[in-house]
Each structure stands twice: as C-alpha cells, then as structure tokens.
Amino acid sequence: MRRPEPLPTRFDPASFEARWYGAWEAAGAFTPEVPSSKPPYVILIPPPNVTGKLHIGHALQFTLQDLIIRWRRMQGYNALWLPGTDHAGIATQVMVERELAKEGTDRRALGREKFLERMWAWKAQYKDNISHQAKALGASCDWTRERFTLDPMLSRAVRHAFVELYRQKLIYRDYRLINWCPRCLTALSDLEVVHKDVDGGMWDFAYPIEGGGEVVVSTTRPETMLGDAAVAVHPDDERYKHLIGKRVVHPLLDRTFPIVADAVLVDPAFGTGAVKVTPAHDPSDFATGERHGLERINILTEDGRINENGGPFAGQDRFAARKAVLAALAEKGLRRGEKTHRHAVGHCQRCDTIVEPYLSRQWFCAMQAMAARALEAARSGEVELIPEFWIATYENWLGNILDWCISRQLWWGHRIPAYYCADGHVTVAEHDVAACETCGKPVEQDPDVLDTWFSSGLWPISTMGWPEKTPDLAAFYPTSLLITAFDILFFWVARMVMMCCHFTGKAPFAEVHLTGLVRDARGQKMSKTKGNVMDPLDLVHEHGADAVRFTLAALASPGRDLPLDAKRMEGYHAFGTKLWNAARFVQMHLDGSEPELDAIDPTTLALPEAWILAELDRTVTAVDKAWGSYRFDEGCRELYQFVWNDFCDWYLEMAKPALEEDRGPGSGVRGPADPLAHDRRAGDVRAVARGVLLEALKLLHPVMPFITEEIAAHLGAAGMLIRTRYPEPDARRANPAALRLIAAFQAMVQETRSYRHLVGLPPGARLGLYVEKLTPEQRVAFTALAPELRRLAALDTLELDAASVPAGAIRDLAGGVHVAIVLPDGAVGEAERERMETELRQVEAELARTQARLADDSFASRAPAEVVEGARRRAEELGHKARLLAGTLGLER
RNA sequence: AGGCGCGUAGCUCAGCUUGGUUAGAGCGCUACCUUGACACGGUAGAGGUCAGCGGUUCGAGUCCGCUCGCGCCUACCA
C-alpha cells in the first residue's frame, strides 16, 4: 500500500474544501442513475427565492437535506437531490422596483419588455450567488437537473395545469372583494396578508334618520362611511325594531340608504348594536350586501385615494380622508364618542403597506375538493408530517380553506393564459391564440401573472417534466422527503400536496420534516435592523463548512427554533481540530501495512481494541436510528461523544503504551517484557486505530463531508467516502463483556484521579491501588490492562498485599470492583477532610432515602423485582462507601 | 376568540411518546496540569425546590387537571 502524505499540522478547512467539491462533481457523484436497479431516494430542494443571498435558514435546510441525501446515497440508494430556484414573483419584483426607484425611474416608465430584461439580469446574478453558496456548504445536489420556475419546461407545466383546472371549472374569474396592496398595486392571497395588532381608534357617530331621530354606529375606519349602503340592526333588538325599513340620510353625501335587519352580521350586545354596512370595503359587509341586495359603492382608487364616489373628499389619501371625515362629522355635531381600540390590521407581506379589501375582477382557484384530498393524504399517512403535532395546524387550515386568488397585477411571473376579445369572450388555451374561440375576433392576452405559489405548488412534478411522461417522472416521483421550515407549511407544502394529488393521484412526498427557524444566541429573530444577522458564507470562511454544518445539525432538535451561538460553533470547529489531531496521531504510527478492519477477527483482539470496536458498533446503531428519525441533534451528539470521549480520551490513551514503546532502539523508552506479544499487540492497535477512525469518518461524512474526505485520503482509504458504503451494525463487533469491563476500568481510573484531587496530592505524587474480590473475568482483564491502568491513573503500585492496606485507607467501590487507594503516608489535609465530610453527608443522605424506600412494604411488593434488587444493591454500595469514608476520616459509624 | 409550542444548571438546550438506580450535554465558572496528536488541549470539580398548585401511583421532570409566564399560528366581530 502506498504510504500517503502526512496530514498538515494545522487544520485549515479552506485548504481542501473547494478541492473536494470539485472532485465529487468531476466524478459525477451527485447524479443518480437512470434507469437504476437501486431503490430511489429523492429530495426536492425548497427552491430559494432569487431575491437575494442565502441566509442562515437556507444553510440549515441545505445542511439537513445534504446530510440525509449523502447518508441514503452511501446506503446504496439511487439518490437524487434536485436543486433549483424560484422566481418569487412579487418578492423579486419589489426588489427590482426599489432599485429602479433609486435610479429615479419605475417599471411603467421602462415598459414591460425592458422591465423584464432587468428582472432576468437580476435573476441571473442572484441565481449564481445561490449556487455558489450551496456549493460552499457542500450541497451534493444534482446540478445537471437544476431548475428555475420560469424555465420553459416548468412554464409549460404551469400553463397546462391552469388550462386543466379551468376546464374542470376549478379555476374561474370573478368580481369580488380581494386583498389589495395600494403600493404594489396588485391583488394578494389571504396568506400574503400579515395581520398585526395595531393601536387604533374606535369612533362612534350618528346617522340622521329620515323623518327624525338618529342611529349611532361605531367604526374603526370612519372614511369608509363614504361607501356605506345600509345600517344593520338585529331583527330581535327591541331598541331598533321600529327603525327597520326606514332610511338614513348620509350627512356628507347627497344620498340615503336603508336600515336593514341582519342576524348574521349584528351582535346586539356589541357596541350600540347598530352596524354601518360598507359592502365594497369589508368582507362581512360584502356578504351582508349580498343578502340584502345592497349597492356596492367603491370609494377608493387603486392607489388608496378616495375616488369620485367620495364627493368632496375625492382625491384625498385614505388616511387623510379618515381625519377629514371625522372633522366633517364633528362639524355637523354627529360625533358621539371615541376610544382607543387594539385590533388586527392586514399588511402586505412584501412591502408592509396596509392592505385594502377591494372590489376587483380576478382569477380564483377552488380549493375545497383539493383540500379534502390533501387532508386525506395526511390522515391516511400517505404524507407524514414530522414532528406530527403539525397535523393539527395543517388540518385546521385545510378544513377552513377559502378559494385562492391566483392572479397578480405584476409582470414578473407566469402570464395567465387567458385571452379576451372586444366582446368580452374568454379563451383559455395552452398555446398562444390570436382569435377568440367564441366569435373569432382578435384577442389580447390577460396582462396579469399567476401567484408565484401556483408554480411552486407544481414543483415536484414540473421539475421532472410533467405533463410529459418522462423517465425522471417515472423514476423519481413521488419523492421521498421534503425538508423545509414550518413557515411555508400553508404557502407551499399544503399546496404541493393539493395540486400534485390532483394531477397525479399521488402525494408528492412520503415525509415532510418541518424545521424550526434559526435565531440568534438569545433566541431573537435575526433581522438587519437588529444587526444580529449571521451570513453563512462568513461563517464558512471563519470556521469551515463542516463546523457550520455540524453546528446547525446539532442544534436541530425537532419542532424547535435554533438559537445559533457563535460559541457553539467555535466548539464544533474545535471538534474538527480534535478529529484532525487524532488522525495525525494515528497516522504518524502507521507504516502502511495495516489490514482493513473487516479482515480482523475481533475475538483475537486485546480488551481495549475489542472495546472500541464494541463502542463503534453501538455508535453505528445509534446514529442509524438518529438519522432515520431525523434526530439530527442526537446523531451529532453520538458522533461527537464517540470521537472525542471514547476514541480520543480513552482508546487512544489506552493505546499509547503499545504504540509509543515501539519507537525503536535509542528512544529511551524501556522495552516491553515480552517483545513478541508486544509487537503483535502494536500491530493490532495500529490497524484498529486506523480502521475505527475510518469507520468514524464514514459515519461523520454526511455531516462533515470535507474534513472526513481529507483525512480518509491521508489514511489511505480506498476511494472517496461519498461513494463508500455507510457503516452498518456488525454482530461480530458487539461485545457487552468488553463494555462492562472497560466501564469498570474507567471507574477505577476516575476514582483514583478523583481521590488524588480530593486529598490534594500533587501531580507527581504516586498512589497505590489495592483491588480485591475480582471475578476471574475481571482478574484476567485487569492483569492485562495493568500498564494502561498505571499510566492513566498515575499509579505505581498495584495488587498491594491486603495486609499492607491500612484500614482507614480503603475508600471506594467502583464499577463493581472493590478497590482501596493507598496514600503514601496516610495523611489527609484539613481542606480535604471537609470535602470528604461533605461527600460523606451526601452519601449518608442518599443511603437513608434508599433504605426508607426498601423498608416500605408497598414498594417491595408492588415494584418490579429488578427495581427492588437495584435499590438493594445501591444501598449496599452506599453503605460500604459511607463506612470507607468514615474510616478514612477516622470516624466511628 | 380558537389552535399549537415552550417554561429543566449562570446561558442555550437534550431527557417526557413506553413513570423506576445518583436528572445529562455544550458553553461559561473554579482548581490543577506548558506529559512529543491536540492549550481549538488534559484532569478533577462547583452549580438544578425539573414554572407553580393539585391528582393518579409503591414511585412523577416524565401521566392527568388547573394556574401563571413566554412565543407562534389561524380568525371578517363593527
């Protein structure tokens, strides 16, 4: 075997990350086979918006997706992770419009064509940013299948879906109240309206009644009285019964309107029990208007000013008009009171402008039937939500869903494939048409585009070429797993389930893992204004991609937000350094002749080697379980503990005598008693240390792909880890006896060290250890481990004669082994005495609790035998410990 | 108004589904250690009425009910 180059002394992620990404790509390691005999495993990327750079939340999504896809790929699946980006209609258009505003122009001045050119240029720039960042993080997605929602193939799918739904009468056009953003000048869906609590006012004013009298109403939006078409009262309300059917006189405009009875709208107990009705500007008033055939008086222009229906107020901004209307009412002596009122106000998700309920002709998609199917998919388990508590939220939303307004008065997006002739006929077609299908007259295409989420909803199938029956669709649909943040559960996840079920009959993915949101170290949301934003690329430059990935994965507890602390990332950076240095240590002892781990029979190995293989096996099982249940935090913890505690702290320390005493003549190290046996053990140690390290690197590879490849190559691994088989549990390595014996060994070492600190012995001072009542198995094991024990516990005398152990020196029981630690002179200092007395008190307290429990008849009779037995053993141990401590302190007990 | 989640060491979090020996981790803190892989290190420690109250149970951080506090989502109450 070729002896690889030694690992550099310094761990420098930047020196190898890009090189490895290039090597994987060059080897085509990200691209699955088509066709393939291997089972498919597919993850679709939640396509990032081409609005800007990736944020830390994307880094989390990318990390978790890459972790799973690398793991599945190594397990032998035909793994596809399909990347892409979303045109993000309104979000991106708002960004570019801001840019234009800085240049002193706007999209209308530019014209549709020029504006779209700007949009595409923007998209090109940010798409490149996004792929660059994904690669820097090590994302192993198949770039040969990269998609963009406005690609011809995906646009075709969108058009096809629209036409199909139109023919099925699930898409229709209607004139009704929608959410309107007066700044973006477009309709919005209900989801794009963000409700925020605002401290506003609640004003009462009186409407004069024809023929005398008045009726007092309350409102949070006085300006809408310009569009009032009725006053509603409850039909059973004795206060107002006599007014029903009468008309009120509009005090500011030259018109009158009726007082109607409406049991749905009016709650007689609320306010004055009389409600002003503005059908054109309030959803529940709109419904009331339908019931009573009321006039729908629109009083606003598209940009939020009062229109000609507002009489003297025409031209005023809606908020100026509010003040003006109140002043006018006051002048007429009609104001009847005012109070502050906290209520929810809808804001535009993208520009934060207050949204208006506005009458408009728009395209809608009927949701009920599709929602029922999507509910069924979740209830039957066809789609599994993880964590499962999300089902309640999912069901709640789908169960109360309203039709979806899908048209947007924007330019960036999929243009609606509807064509209108001068006579008002509508032609909807998959391909461009020139003539009306009804009358043959020339037509013009609808200028509007579709809600960006309409195309996102088709992502699982449009990316694979639907509606064509492509090989990809056959091989990779439905997909396996979706990983995304919970905040787009409704926007995206539910809509994908609805639309893909509708068009294919199959749910688009088997599992959905909903992650939390990345926050700062104190749990605050990251935002530019707070200045606590962490840029993933900065973090990669500072700590390396592997540390960023490991941190995010380790923080990803199910259903919780991730408080990202720089300190934590430093800790995982240090983990990389630790791994690197452990590998350097192992590597410097290798001579290139080591057999692979599979070629070694574990039963021929010495205890430390058998033990580390058993720990490895335990870790393999635990990690497998963790990844399989998306417990990224648990998997990371298992790996961290195995590498740092088991392998570095214990195994390598135990292995050092075997490795280091064979540095050859002249090294000044005393030679072993049996050179032949020592050489055999040294050979085993080298092979096992290297082999276990390589297995750990494979286990770690999905989380830390770069450092693991780099180290594995320096250890002479055959081939790249990305293409290596993932470790599997191995019954030959499992070894409960080794786990038990080494646990006892560790306990002896730790008790001895602890005792050294407890009595304040200087580091150089040596101790003796007396061990008694060993089982035959323990005697063999500890005799063999004597050099390691001596070294790790800094002991110099073992197996003291029982007669030479002073009664008061016996201190402890450890790991089921009776030991006594012998002080050189038996002296105990005053400070140490106090600490030992404290410990004695604690031991006695616990002993008392345990004995009380044992003395309780109901415990003995009702608790399982093993629990009772455990308590009994514990009491015995505690009793012994208490006696020994008391003895050391010279106390009588 | 409904729904969901959370409240465990100074900080950030595991553990709760399937109740059982001494409640864990990382960071921070204390003491000691410049021992040839690693000071981004090693060793040993200190630190917790598991938000509160009540219940079920031999036994509750874990199950049930209530209360308080925090966060989020959905919602057309003027």
Q: Given this model, what pLDDT does residue A755 score?
A: 79
The A 802-831 residues near strand B by Cβ under 7 Å are: none
- Using alpha carbons, select from A700, A585, A557 the residue that is nearest to residue A638: A700
The DSSP 8-state label assigned to residue A12 in this structure reads -
Q: Are A810 and A886 a contacting pair, CB within 8 Å?
A: no
CA of A326 to C1' of B75 (A): 29
Which two three-digit tokens encode residue A784?
A: 């063999």
A765 touches strand B (CB under 7 A): no
Give the three-state DSSP class for A869. helix
Q: Given this model, what pLDDT does residue A383 score?
A: 95
The DSSP 8-state label assigned to residue A333 in this structure reads T
Q: Are A606 and A784 a contacting pair, CB within 8 Å?
A: yes
Helix axes of A112-136 and A536-543: crossing angle, nearest 10 degrees: 30
Query: How many whole angstroms separate alpha carbon A317 and alpha carbon A592?
Result: 81
Q: Given this model, what pLDDT does residue A810 score?
A: 55
CA of A865 to C1' of B55 (A): 27
Q: Phi and psi of A261, rounded to 5°?
A: -100, 125
- The two beta strands, A418-421 and A443-445, are antiparallel
- Using alpha carbons, select from A89, A160, A159, A124 the residue that is nearest to residue A453: A89
Q: Are A881 and A812 a contacting pair, CB within 8 Å?
A: yes
Protein-contacted positions of strand B (CB under 7 Å): 2-6, 11-15, 20-22, 25-28, 31-33, 35-38, 40-45, 57-59, 73-78
Residues 6+ positions from A263 with CB-CB distance below 8 Å: A234, A235, A236
- Using alpha carbons, select from A157, A146, A152 the residue that is nearest to residue A81: A146
Which two three-digit tokens encode residue A712?
A: 């594995």
- CB < 8 Å & 24+ apart, contacts of A281-285: A281/A177, A281/A221, A281/A224, A281/A227, A281/A356, A281/A357, A281/A358, A282/A177, A282/A224, A282/A357, A283/A177, A283/A357
Query: How many whole angstroms separate alpha carbon A182 and alpha carbon A346?
Result: 12
**Whole-prediction pTM value?**
0.92
A190 touches strand B (CB under 7 A): yes
The DSSP 8-state label assigned to residue A705 in this structure reads H
User: For A258-304, what is each residue's pLDDT tens digit?
Assistant: 999 998 888 888 888 899 999 999 999 999 998 999 999 999 999 99
Nearest nt to A867, CA vs C1'?
B20
Rg (CA), chain A: 37
- The two beta strands, A256-261 and A247-249, are antiparallel
Q: How many residues does chain A have?
A: 893
Q: Are A293 and A229 a contacting pair, CB within 8 Å?
A: no
A276 touches strand B (CB under 7 A): yes
| Single-letter amino acid, residue A817 | V
| Single-letter amino acid, residue A586 | V
User: For A446-504, what is each residue's pLDDT tens digit?
Assistant: 999 999 999 999 999 999 999 999 999 999 999 999 999 999 999 999 999 999 999 99
Q: How far is CA A190 from CA A177, A187, A357, A414, A490, in A?
A: 11, 10, 11, 20, 11
Name the closest residue (CA) to the C1' of nucleotide B19.
A863
Q: Given this model, what pLDDT does residue A281 score?
A: 94
Give the three-state DSSP class for A246. coil
Q: Phi and psi of A354, rounded to 5°?
A: -70, 130
Q: Given this model, what pLDDT does residue A331 score?
A: 92
Query: How many whole angstroms separate alpha carbon A430 and alpha carbon A655?
Result: 72
The A 510-529 residues near strand B by Cβ under 7 Å are: 521-523
Q: Given this model, what pLDDT does residue A663 score?
A: 46
The A 377-416 residues near strand B by Cβ under 7 Å are: 389, 392-393, 396-397, 400
Name the closest residue (CA) to the C1' of nucleotide B37.
A585
Query: How many whole angstroms separate alpha carbon A718 and alpha carbon A4?
Result: 12
Residues 6+ positions from A764 with CB-CB distance below 8 Å: none
Cite the DSSP H helix spans in A763-864: 776-784, 786-793, 830-855, 857-862
What are the residue ranges in chain A where pLDDT is below 50?
1, 663-670
Nearest nt to A218, CA vs C1'?
B78
